[in-house]
Amino acid sequence: MSMNLFFILVLGLLLGMFGYFTPKFSHANDAKEIPQIELNQFKLYEISKRGIDHVLEGKKGEKFEDRYTVTSAKFSDNTKHLFQSVSSDQVEYKADRINLKQNVHYVRADGLEFRSSEGIYDTKRSAIQTDGAFVITQKAHRIDGDRLTYDTERDTVSAKRVQIRYQLK
């Protein structure tokens, strides 16, 4: 056997081994989005000259290119006339809209509370919307209904199928 034929066989064997053992990348793995930042059991403070303006706490937070997702989230706002906070099991924050899913609970310093299974909080308009059932309570007063729009700046509420229980002293 000539030397050229030997090297050609070795080269063929090496190319065959390279082709066989080269990792195969599947497109299914490429489709999964990977977060840019991930936090576990966290509490974030936004501080200004006035003091603590906002607090965001959660069990797990992820930052993607176009949105944030947080599980067991609670967002507190100290910049408004009354201190307020909203919490939910699943939160997605994207383009000034906070989508709240499962166990939505809004609390204001004067005792007003809002509960629903889902909602959307528009940070620019300071408004909460829900398409499903909701309950608003304040002291002994209670409002039940569907399709709520609550403007936290103007303190106005609009809803459908409303049932109100108001306690007179």
Residue 28 has a pLDDT of 60
Residue 87 has a pLDDT of 92
CB 146 within 8 A of CB 159: yes
Instruction: Find the farthest-apart pair of alpha carbons in the chain and give their distance in angstroms, rounded.
Output: 110
Q: Does domain 39-165 have CATH number 2.60.450.10?
A: yes
Residue 1 has a pLDDT of 60
Residue 123 has a pLDDT of 80
CB 92 within 8 A of CB 69: yes
Residue 69 has a pLDDT of 93
Residues of the chain with pLDDT under 70: 1, 26-31, 169
pLDDT digits 0-9 by tens, 89-117:
999 988 888 899 999 998 989 998 989 99
* 3-class DSSP state of 49: coil
Residue 80 has a pLDDT of 78
C-alpha to C-alpha distance for 66 and 95, rounded to whole angstroms: 8
pLDDT digits 0-9 by tens, 49-59:
989 998 989 99
Residue 57 has a pLDDT of 93
DSSP 51-85: EEEEEEEEEEEEE-SS-EEEEEEEEEE-SSSS-EE
- List beta partners, residue 122: 97, 127
Residue 139 falls in which region: left (phi positive, over 0), alpha (psi -120 to 50) or beta? left
- Domain spans of the chain? 39-165
